[in-house]
Amino acid sequence: MTDPVVRDVAPSTEAFLEAVCAGLTADPKTLPCKFLYDETGARLFEAICTLDEYYPTRTELSILMQHAAEMAAELGPHVRLVEPGSGSLQKVRFLLDHLTDPVDFVPIDISLEQLTEEARQVAVDFPGIDVHPVCADYTAGFSLPEVPDQAARTVVFFPGSTIGNLEPGEAREFLERMAQVVGPRGAILLGVDLKKDLDVLHAAYDDAAGVTAAFNKNLLARINRELDADFDLASFEHSARYEAAPSRMVLELVSTREQRVSIAGTAFRFAAGEPIRTEYSHKPSHADVVAMAAATGLAVRRCWTDARAWFGVFLLERAA
């Protein structure tokens, strides 16, 4: 078996610098969360997923373990499976184990190192499936490999509630693009972290061991490494807070003092207490998901959830 060939269309260093400078001149200051996932960031996020406080991963895994066979039956045979933001490829294995004669798997991720290794392992473990990895920012426009002739339908698998990282308008645009990817006969299998008690949310996004804080601060360390910057990581603190409208957790890095930071020769000033927003994690209700799907011409055909209704895996198809 030959290793899968990765198509690399990830953002360039120049694009990274442009996005960082644009974000830090905005009000409030922001940094795109997609850049959290370099090699170190991807490794730290996998560590987050194992924490006791971080319920989303284990809750969604429990749903997949219990219902993957039903999901596969709904999707049908000879599926071409596309997974944006594929990460560790842990969850997709439950589907691949139960799908009937899947013909093609296209994992898409911005972390080249993780994507290369995980795609190679999937190819080893599922030798009957063609694996065509793409290193890219899945929120941007790029082309996918050709659809195999034997594929009965294309299915986008988007677990992890990653859609919650997008603003509501961005989430609708993303679903519209994915609806175009799958076509009129296709489907989207969407994992969504739902509304719940605030104590549960705060513990999940500000864990006692500080792993999430290290994950968040690594973005500044990455900018230092790759963009000739001089962030003093000790002068920024991780913050995770809830905003009731529109029901989301907000991750920030807060400057603990007045300071000046240089990035590729450009100076940026920070006031004491000034935040940099690094990630949103929206927590919609079931009705919110139905409404978002309807706004993009999709309908919720099935939803699988856990006993506490903390998390849902939604099957979306074209509305009649």
Pick the CATH number of 55-196+284-318 from 3.40.50.150, 3.40.640.10, 1.25.40.10, 3.40.980.10: 3.40.50.150
For the chain, the average pLDDT equals: 95
C-alpha–C-alpha distance, residues 3 and 81, integer Å:
19
Task: Render pLDDT for 182-210 as a digit per residue (tens, 0 to 9).
Answer: 999 999 999 999 999 999 999 999 999 99
Residue 309 phi, psi (nearest 5): 55, 40
Task: Render pLDDT for 213-267 as a digit per residue (tens, 0 to 9).
Answer: 999 999 999 999 999 999 999 999 999 999 998 999 999 999 999 999 999 999 9
C-alpha–C-alpha distance, residues 27 and 231, integer Å:
19
pTM: 0.94
> What are the extents of the domains in the chain?
18-52+212-282, 55-196+284-318
Single out the residue of 204, 171, 205, 208 nearest to residue 190, CA to CA: 171
C-alpha–C-alpha distance, residues 284 and 263, integer Å:
36
Cβ count within 10 A of residue 78: 16
- Is it the case that residue 141 has pLDDT exceeding 80? no
- Is it the case that residue 142 has pLDDT exceeding 80? no
Instruction: Please give the structure tokens belonging to residue 129.
Output: 């499936």
